[in-house]
């Protein structure tokens, strides 16, 4: 039995890509296996942990739940695409400065959510940051350093 594929054109990190994918292929699979962009992690594979979060048309989405075939014409940004010249973003700098990176498995998802959140709310309070990050799970830390890092990035502490 052959699997039917369709061509989908997606802009990934600023570059147009035409992908041949089956109707059941997730964006996470395409990113990791076909495009070799491994920043988005396969964590729970059920949309619960947030480790696979990317931006689709500027909004954070779980790539493990997103079917690639539905993305024709979409713009996808992965953690690799946030700083294409190799310079860290303010969020990434703040995560390092606040020692908020432990094993790193959840980090790319946290970065993507925090980046989007700060674009929409550049002057958040602690409760707003906690709420914004609440959909992403970290198994290593107590979240305090993650929240502090996002506040630090918002105030320009890592500039």
The ranges assigned to domains in the chain are 5-82, 90-155
Domain 90-155 in CATH 1.10.150.120? The answer is: yes
Taking CA atoms, 46 is separated from 54, 79, 104, 109, in Å, by: 15, 20, 19, 14
Q: Which pLDDT value is given to residue 102?
A: 81
Classify 35 in phi/psi space as left (phi over 0), alpha (psi -120 to 50) or beta: alpha
Measured distance CA(156)–CA(93) in Å, rounded: 10
Q: Which pLDDT value is given to residue 150?
A: 96
Each residue's pLDDT expressed in tens, for the chain with a length of 159 residues: 567 899 999 999 999 999 999 999 999 999 999 999 999 999 989 999 999 999 999 999 999 999 999 999 999 999 999 987 888 999 999 999 998 888 888 899 999 999 999 999 999 999 999 999 999 998 887 789 999 999 999 998 643
Does 90-155 match 5-82 at the fold level? no
CB neighbour burial string for 19-42, b if at least 16 within 10 angstroms, e if fewer: bebeeebbbbbbbbeebebebbbe
- Greatest Cα pair distance, the chain, in angstroms, is 57
Measured distance CA(76)–CA(144) in Å, rounded: 29
- What homologous superfamily is domain 5-82 in, according to CATH? Beta-grasp domain (3.10.20.30)
């Amino acid at each position: 039995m052959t699997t039917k594929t369709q061509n989908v054109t997606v802009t990934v990190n600023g570059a147009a890509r035409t992908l041949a994918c089956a109707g059941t292929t997730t964006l996470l699979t395409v990113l990791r296996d076909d495009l070799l962009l491994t920043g988005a992690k396969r964590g729970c594979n059920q949309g619960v942990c947030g480790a696979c979060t990317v931006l689709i048309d500027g909004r954070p989405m779980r790539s493990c739940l997103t079917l690639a075939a539905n993305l024709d014409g979409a713009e996808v940004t992965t953690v690799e695409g946030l700083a294409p010249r190799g310079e860290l973003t303010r969020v990434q700098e703040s995560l390092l400065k606040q020692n908020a990176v432990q094993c790193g498995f959840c980090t790319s998802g946290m970065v993507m959510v925090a980046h989007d959140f700060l674009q929409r709310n550049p002057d958040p309070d602690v409760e707003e940051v906690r709420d914004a990050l609440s959909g992403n799970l970290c198994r290593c830390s107590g979240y305090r350093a993650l929240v502090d890092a996002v506040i630090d990035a918002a105030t320009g502490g890592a500039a």
